[in-house]
Amino acid sequence: MKNLIKVGRARSNITQAELADKVKVSRQTINSIETGKFTPSTVLALKIAEVLQVNVNELFQLEDSDW
């Protein structure tokens, strides 16, 4: 699954640590999601989208390999 959290954070001018604090996870978790090492739960994905004020579909996109 492709994610655009880093782009969303840049648009919102928010650091990994700030985003992590707002969604109640570690900065390392945000980093792992951004680098594709970890796929967030639906709840976490929705929380991230809410904090960044975007639709979850704008942050997370399925790739052909996900099917």
What is the CATH classification number for the domain harbouring 10? 1.10.260.40
Neighbouring C-alpha atoms within 13 Å toward the C-beta of 38:
16
Q: Which residues of 2-41 are buried (b: 16+ CB within 10 A; e: fewer)?
A: ebbbeebbeeeebebeebbeebebeeebbbebbeeeeebe
Domain containing 57 equals 2-61
67 domain residue, yes or no: no
For residue 25, give the DSSP letter: S
Is residue 37 domain-resident? yes
Q: pLDDT (tens digit, 0 to 9) for every residue of the chain, 67 residues total? A: 899 999 999 999 999 999 999 999 999 999 999 999 999 999 999 999 999 999 999 999 888 888 8
In a domain, 23, yes or no: yes
Number of folded domains in the chain? Answer: 1
d(C-alpha 6, C-alpha 53), whole Å: 14
Q: Say what the pTM is.
A: 0.91
Asked if 20 and 26 touch (Cβ cutoff 8 Å), the reply is yes
